[in-house]
Amino acid sequence: MSRNAQNDHLTRLEQTSIHIFREAFANFRSVCMPWSMGKDSNVLIWLARKAFCGKIPFPLLHIDTTYEFPEMYEFREKAKEIHGVDLIVRINEDAIRRGIGYATHDPVTVTHELKTVPLKAAIDEFKWDALVTGIRRDEDPTRAKERWFSPRSAEGVWDYKDQPPEFWGQFASTAPEGGHVRVQPLLEWTELDIWEYIRRENIPNPTLYFARNGKRFRSLGCHPITHPVDSPASNIDEVIEELKLTRVSERAGRAQDHVGRNSMQALRAKGFM
Amino acid sequence: MSQTSHLSSVQKSAQPDIEDMRKMHVVVVGHVDHGKSTFVGRLLHDTDSLPNGKLEQVRKNCAAEGMEFEYAFLLDALIEEQEQNITIDTTRIFFRTTQRAYAIIDAPGHKEFLKNMVTGAASASAALLLIDANEGVMDQSRRHAFLLSLLGVKQLVVLVNKMDLIKHDQSTYEKIKVEYTAFLKSLGLTAVHFIPIAAKHGENVVQRSDKMSWWKGPTVAEALDNFKHEDDLTGLPLRLPVSDIYRFDHRRIIAGRVEAGAIRPGDELIFQPGGRRSTVRTFEDWPGHSRDVVGTSGSANFSLSEQIFVERGQVAAHPNQQPRVGREFRARIFWLGKEPLQQNKTYRLRLLTQNVEAVIAKIEKITDASSLEPIEASTVPRDTICEVIVRSTRPIAFDLHSECAITGRFAIEDKGRINGGGIILDSITEKTSGEGKVTAAERTARAGHSPAVIWFTGLSGSGKSTIAELVERRLFDAGKKVFRVDGDDLRTALNRDLGFSATDRAESVRRASAVAGLFANAGHIALVTLIAPLAADRAKARAALANHAFIEVFVDAPLEVCESRDVKGLYAKARRGEIPEFTGISSPYEAPEAPEVHIRTDKLSTTQAVELVINALDKILESKAEDWEV
């Protein structure tokens, strides 16, 4: 790295994210980092390792919907090894017994049952008061309004109408009674930043992001509702070149976002990431 | 608007090959309904920055619900906003040109959402402020400018919007410009331009309007590309607030972000408040990611050459460029809390990573942020500006806002919620009120610490004065009241009548303890350096000073070592018999059995010795602090 490395755009983003990680770890009693195994999540792991001298001092959580792509399960085991993380895996067995699934239910219901509900259960079980998430402001208009430290009530609800002010590096560092705070180190990053950083740092990622037979995944979720986009980009360089020109939104392939006019907001207000 | 174009085609930079990837953060502010969201929607549209199908989708949604399409809907994604037509929270919109990336922050103009406007504006390097040409300068137009000045956003372009509603009339535009320029001037702000626009129709946004040929200045797009990134603070004195201390396999690693200046291995650091010093040994980066300097906004993690007590909140600086340390200052505050700010109420003050209790000691002035007129009130209502005296219960490290903005501003928290922010105007060291006799508690409050006596005993040449002088320097630099009562000095004045007999030695110790007691009564930390060879005499001194924190420091070195040092040539004289009853040679030294601090100066460095004393003092003062922290 060059002498003035922090003047470099990616390094600035990286250094800010590291600061957010450290402030969270210093302020909260018990921190957890949900891990989707997607690109943003993998960048988060990398940043956390940099923030804490190589070893992440809190557990990771994978909410397994049982609808992950098979390749993701393989990637999970490989990445767990590489990063030396403490991983907790949770599945909403009850919902699966009740037959909740994409074959019979709409994506908003399934997302809520298989992601949000087990996440809340895990928070109750482990009493985490801070969750580190990989959301970015450029992903979706509701996420654009997010804070670095974003409080959630005991019910997991995001009160987007009355968010705490955030200025001069001072964040809402107290979790609401019975609730927790979402810590979001990637807020200022864009999709392109993520890929450029992955290239620069050589961060492991699932190969589903790269084109096979003219299609690739730009955003990864449950396989029944996640669709590839048309793309010839079969490696990182090509993905980056493609993103510099694209005008298709990143989450275009994620069905649960597009059910109603404000489905993403409805999901997020109820506790979705 | 028949044609769109990229910003980059409007304004070419001097070095078109070099892509500036740093995002320029620009906040859009102004009175409610003066067209901020419409402007941003239009800007995105005209710079060809919208995702595919977004415009069509929003048009379709509007048609389905029987609403007229507005560019504002592109941004106002939340349900409530569409129903109420108000931007509830700040929205960030990212877009890029071949020259650089932008984050446009669309801040709400409605008065109820001032805290959100603050949140948006605080992260911006530049501001676009919209004024409705038809309505003119309104309440929030002025209030937002006041906040921009407090938040430190210096680059401002005013957009006189809705020119189409006033038939593009230049004289109305000029009137607004004159009126608002005068207002900005009273805040110490200057607008780079006043650009007449009609955001709804894209006039002078990216495309030049053919209806305002009288306007010769830039379009908004051109003005945007002329904004400069905030100043690089790497040239300023180092300010590194400690975020945390990590312990890894016996290494203690200090983590913190460089807020100003730069840090390198080998730098001597002073940690304030506290005043302990040490040297940066090395950066403890993740292997393979090591650095040789960390500049402003870099997150550093490093180990120190000498282990000293460091905690979250302290600010690391270079010793020749330290921050101020104090408990009282005058500040200008913007208050966002639902409950008014009250005098004599205790809040939490957060300045960088420092988080201390603080009292609003006095509300001096409350100002209406819009009219700039004083408000007569005993408490500070929400969304107003005030000047107050803030007094913290513990000393904090800070700079005046005019010296270093980043360490000269703070947030105020009440019941776990950030409810206001302020900038530090002056530091106050003197306090001039009270009645009757001045009490010990008052002296302690003014000093910011309890008094104490530290008694250094040991053979001549053991290093008492050397260590005491370093301790004094450290405490003095940390803003403590401290004075050294030196045995040799006493001997030339107060104790001129005394010799070295056992009786005279006892009297000498008694007098030294009396002098130390006076300094302690005056609120000082008194450092006594006196051989005081006899345990009984020292016990009497300790008893006489029982009202104060007392630390006995045994400065211990073998006689041979002391004699070999013989700085003053006294041992040589004693050996020649020229000094009778010389301690260690012809007179006994009774080593303390249970001193608070035992220093083997033949084994420890002076820095380590000083650290032992400071740590002992900190411990005893912390336990005392509860007596006076209110």
pLDDT, mean of residues B444-454: 85
pLDDT above 90: residue A84? yes
Establish if A239 belongs to a structural domain: yes
Q: Does A167 contact B119 at a Cβ distance shorter than 8 Å?
A: yes
Q: What does the alpha-carbon distance between residue B140 and residue B117 come to, in Å, rounded to a whole number? A: 11
Q: What does the alpha-carbon distance between residue B619 and residue B601 come to, in Å, rounded to a whole number? A: 22
Do B66 and B209 belong to one domain? yes
Q: What does the alpha-carbon distance between residue B40 and residue A240 come to, in Å, rounded to a whole number? A: 27
Closest partner CB to B255 (pick from A22, A144, A248): A22
Range of the domain at A162: 5-190+260-269
The answer to whether residue B214 neighbours chain A at the CB level (below 8 Å) is: no
Q: What does the alpha-carbon distance between residue A219 and residue B406 come to, in Å, rounded to a whole number? A: 38
Q: Does B77 contact A262 at a Cβ distance shorter than 8 Å?
A: yes
**ipTM of predicted assembly, 2 dp:** 0.88
Do A17 and A149 belong to one domain? yes
pLDDT, mean of residues B20-37: 84
Show which of residues 473-532 on chain B sit within 8 Å of chain A, judged by CB atoms: none
Do B294 and B373 belong to one domain? no
The continuous run of DSSP H or E covering B490 comes out as helix B487-492
CA distance B296 to chain A (A): 8
- Per-residue pLDDT tens for A45-76? 999 999 998 889 999 999 999 999 999 999 99
Q: Does B90 contact A190 at a Cβ distance shorter than 8 Å?
A: no
Do B422 and B529 belong to one domain? no
Query: Which of A137-151, B28-42, B193-207 has the highest average model confidence (pLDDT)?
Result: B193-207
Instruction: Examine the fold and report which residue of B191, B226, B261 is the final residue of a domain before the chain moves on.
Output: B226
Model pLDDT, residue B102: 85
Residues 6+ apart with CB under 8 A from B103: A137, A188, B23, B24, B25, B26, B92, B93, B94
Do B25 and B132 belong to one domain? yes
The continuous run of DSSP H or E covering B393 comes out as strand B384-398
Q: Does A138 contact B353 at a Cβ distance shorter than 8 Å?
A: no
Mutant choice from B78, B151, B404 vs A, greatest count of A C-beta within 10 A:
B78
Instruction: Examine the fold and report which residue of B317, B341, B374 is the final residue of a domain before the chain moves on.
Output: B317
pLDDT, mean of residues B469-482: 92
Do A143 and A213 belong to one domain? no
Q: Classify B151 in phi/psi space as left (phi over 0), alpha (psi -120 to 50) or beta.
A: alpha
Between the CA of residue A165 and those of A171, B339, B420, B580, what are the distances in Å? 8, 15, 9, 74
pLDDT, mean of residues B69-75: 76
The answer to whether residue B257 neighbours chain A at the CB level (below 8 Å) is: yes
pLDDT above 80: residue B608? yes
Do B147 and B196 belong to one domain? yes
Q: Does A7 contact B295 at a Cβ distance shorter than 8 Å?
A: yes
**Range scoring the smallest mean pLDDT among B62-76, B142-156, B318-332:** B62-76
- Per-residue pLDDT tens for B76-93? 644 444 444 445 556 677
Establish if B436 belongs to a structural domain: no
Residues in chain A closer than 8 A to B113 (CB atoms): none
CA distance B402 to chain A (A): 16
Model pLDDT, residue A2: 38
Q: What does the alpha-carbon distance between residue B208 and residue B196 come to, in Å, rounded to a whole number? A: 10
Q: Does B296 contact A6 at a Cβ distance shorter than 8 Å?
A: yes
Do B381 and B480 belong to one domain? no
Closest partner CB to B295 (pick from A4, A165, A248): A4
pLDDT, mean of residues A75-79: 94
Model pLDDT, residue B85: 47
Do A253 and A265 belong to one domain? no
Closest partner CB to B421 (pick from A50, A167, A261): A167
Model pLDDT, residue B5: 32
pLDDT above 80: residue B1? no
Model pLDDT, residue B439: 78
The continuous run of DSSP H or E covering B597 comes out as strand B597-600
CA distance A22 to chain B (A): 7
Closest partner CB to A165 (pick from B115, B295, B297): B115
Establish if A198 belongs to a structural domain: no
Q: Does A7 contact B232 at a Cβ distance shorter than 8 Å?
A: yes
The answer to whether residue B233 neighbours chain A at the CB level (below 8 Å) is: no
Do A20 and A124 belong to one domain? yes
CB distance A72 to A38 below 8 Å: no
Do A112 and A170 belong to one domain? yes
Establish if A236 belongs to a structural domain: yes
Establish if B381 belongs to a structural domain: yes
As beta bridge partners, residue B20 has: B100
Q: Does A167 contact B411 at a Cβ distance shorter than 8 Å?
A: yes
Q: What does the alpha-carbon distance between residue B376 and residue A226 come to, in Å, rounded to a whole number? A: 61
DSSP codes, B279-300 = EEEEE-PPTT---S-B-TTPEE
Do B113 and B180 belong to one domain? yes
pLDDT, mean of residues B445-449: 78
CA distance A97 to chain B (A): 35
Closest partner CB to B418 (pick from A4, A164, A262): A164
Do A90 and A153 belong to one domain? yes
Q: Does A165 contact B298 at a Cβ distance shorter than 8 Å?
A: no
Do B457 and B515 belong to one domain? yes
CATH code (residue B385): 2.40.30.10
Q: Does B418 contact A52 at a Cβ distance shorter than 8 Å?
A: no
Measure CA B320 to chain center: 18
- Chains A, B: CB contacts under 8 A, how many? 150
Establish if B1 belongs to a structural domain: no
Q: How confident is the model at residue B448 (pLDDT cuts 50, 70, 90)?
A: confident
- Tell me the residue ranges of DSSP E strands in chain A: 31-34, 60-63, 87-90, 130-132, 149-152, 180-183, 215-216, 229-230
Establish if A88 belongs to a structural domain: yes
Residues in chain B closer than 8 A to A54 (CB atoms): 286-287
Q: Is B161 helix (H, G, I), strand (E, B) or coil?
A: strand
- Per-residue pLDDT tens for A141-200? 677 778 899 999 888 888 877 888 889 989 988 888 889 999 999 998 988 899 999 999
Q: Which residue of B has its CA nearest to A265?
A: B78
Residues in chain A closer than 8 A to B353 (CB atoms): 23, 26
Q: Classify A237 in phi/psi space as left (phi over 0), alpha (psi -120 to 50) or beta.
A: alpha
Q: Which residue of A has its CA nearest to B61?
A: A261
The answer to whether residue B591 neighbours chain A at the CB level (below 8 Å) is: no
Q: Which residue of B has its CA nearest to A4?
A: B295
Q: Is B424 helix (H, G, I), strand (E, B) or coil?
A: strand
Do B143 and B49 belong to one domain? yes
Model pLDDT, residue B2: 34
Model pLDDT, residue B71: 80
Closest partner CB to B118 (pick from A18, A141, A167): A167
CB distance A76 to A37 below 8 Å: yes
Range of the domain at B237: 233-317
Proportion of chain A above pLDDT 90, given as a percent: 63
Residues in chain A closer than 8 A to B51 (CB atoms): 247-249
Mutant choice from A21, A153, A166 vs B, greatest count of B C-beta within 10 A:
A166
Do A230 and A181 belong to one domain? no
The answer to whether residue B41 neighbours chain A at the CB level (below 8 Å) is: no
Question: Taking each helix axis from N to C terminus, what angle separates B502-521 and B535-544, rounded to the nearest 10 degrees?
Answer: 20
Do B462 and B608 belong to one domain? yes
Do A252 and A139 belong to one domain? no
What phi and psi, each to the nearest 5 degrees, are found at residue B198?
A: -130, 90
Residue B77: count other Cβ atoms within 10 Å of its Cβ: 20
CB distance B354 to B274 below 8 Å: no
Instruction: Please provide the average confidence, as pLDDT, over all residues in chain B.
Output: 86
Q: Classify B356 in phi/psi space as left (phi over 0), alpha (psi -120 to 50) or beta.
A: beta
Q: What pTM was computed for the model?
A: 0.72
Question: Taking each helix axis from N to C terminus, what angle separates B464-477 and B606-625, rounded to the nearest 10 degrees?
Answer: 50
Residues 6+ apart with CB under 8 A from A2: A8
Q: How many domains does chain A have?
A: 2
CA distance A68 to chain B (A): 28
Closest partner CB to A142 (pick from B78, B93, B336): B78
Closest partner CB to B94 (pick from A138, A262, A265): A138
Q: Does B299 contact A161 at a Cβ distance shorter than 8 Å?
A: no
Closest partner CB to A141 (pick from B91, B350, B409): B91
The continuous run of DSSP H or E covering A195 comes out as helix A191-201
Residues in chain A closer than 8 A to B94 (CB atoms): 137-138, 190
| Amino acid of residue B296 | T
CB distance A226 to A217 below 8 Å: yes
Give the per-residue SS3 of A198-263. HHHHCCCCCHHHCCECCEECCCCCCHHHECCEECCCCCHHHHHHHHHHCCCCHHHHEHHHHCCCCH
CA distance B44 to chain A (A): 12
CA distance A240 to chain B (A): 14
Model pLDDT, residue B174: 97
**Range scoring the smallest mean pLDDT among A140-144, B45-49, B519-523:** A140-144
CATH code (residue A182): 3.40.50.620
Proportion of chain B above pLDDT 90, given as a percent: 53
Q: Does B294 contact A6 at a Cβ distance shorter than 8 Å?
A: yes
Establish if A201 belongs to a structural domain: no
Do B124 and B271 belong to one domain? no
Q: Does A144 contact B417 at a Cβ distance shorter than 8 Å?
A: no
pLDDT, mean of residues B414-441: 79
Establish if B630 belongs to a structural domain: no
Show which of residues 58-87 on chain B sit within 8 Å of chain A, judged by CB atoms: 61, 75, 77-80
- Per-residue pLDDT tens for A133-142? 999 987 776 7
- Per-residue pLDDT tens for B526-567? 999 999 999 999 999 999 998 889 999 999 999 999 998 888
- Per-residue pLDDT tens for B317-369? 999 999 999 999 999 999 999 999 999 999 999 999 999 999 999 999 999 88
Do the strands B452-457 and B482-486 form a parallel or antiparallel pair, or are they unpaired? unpaired
What phi and psi, each to the nearest 5 degrees, are found at residue B209?
A: -80, 135
Do A185 and A73 belong to one domain? yes
Proportion of chain B above pLDDT 70, given as a percent: 90
The answer to whether residue B51 neighbours chain A at the CB level (below 8 Å) is: yes
Closest partner CB to B336 (pick from A1, A12, A165): A165
Establish if B433 belongs to a structural domain: no
Instruction: Examine the fold and report which residue of B226, B261, B279 is the final residue of a domain before the chain moves on.
Output: B226
Show which of residues 318-357 on chain B sit within 8 Å of chain A, judged by CB atoms: 336, 350, 352-353
Residues in chain B closer than 8 A to A140 (CB atoms): 77
Do A80 and A9 belong to one domain? yes
The token duo for B479 is: 């803003």
Q: How many domains does chain B have?
A: 4
Q: How confident is the model at residue A255 (pLDDT cuts 50, 70, 90)?
A: low
Establish if A220 belongs to a structural domain: yes
Please identify which residue in the block is written with the tokens 């409080």: A151
Do B506 and B528 belong to one domain? yes
Closest partner CB to A50 (pick from B61, B253, B286): B286
Do A105 and A212 belong to one domain? no
Q: Does A172 contact B292 at a Cβ distance shorter than 8 Å?
A: no
Q: What does the alpha-carbon distance between residue B515 and residue B50 come to, in Å, rounded to a whole number? A: 78
CATH code (residue B213): 3.40.50.300
Q: What does the alpha-carbon distance between residue A34 and residue A88 come to, in Å, rounded to a whole number? A: 9
Model pLDDT, residue B233: 82
Nearest to B35 by CA among B253, B220, B252: B220
Nearest to A102 by CA among A117, A92, A113: A113
What phi and psi, each to the nearest 5 degrees, are found at residue B95?
A: -155, 165
Do A254 and A129 belong to one domain? no
pLDDT above 60: residue B169? yes
